[in-house]
Amino acid sequence: MTTRTPSPNGCQHCGVDQREHMQQWKPPVGWHKWAAPTQDQIKARMRARRANRKEQ
């Protein structure tokens, strides 16, 4: 299982970028289309990204 930090602008539900999203299945939403992330999600993802980079 690969865990990758979603990009800040990735889908609100699954973190996949809009251009590569199409339809994704992800619990608990199931099949869904790309949805804009909330400001809080964007901030949290940017923080996670920065933390990951420091560890490498």
Nearer to Zn ion, 24 or 41 (CB): 24
- CA–CA dist 35, 50 (Å, integer): 23
Scanning 3-11, 39-47, 48-56 for contacts with Zn ion by CB under 5 A, the matching segment is: 3-11
Nearer to Zn ion, 14 or 42 (CB): 14
Q: Does 13 bind Zn ion (CB under 5 A)?
A: yes
- CA–CA dist 1, 31 (Å, integer): 21
Candidates 14, 41, 42, 44; binder of Zn ion (CB under 5 A) is 14
**Contacts of residue 20, Cβ cutoff 8 Å, sequence gap at least 6:** none
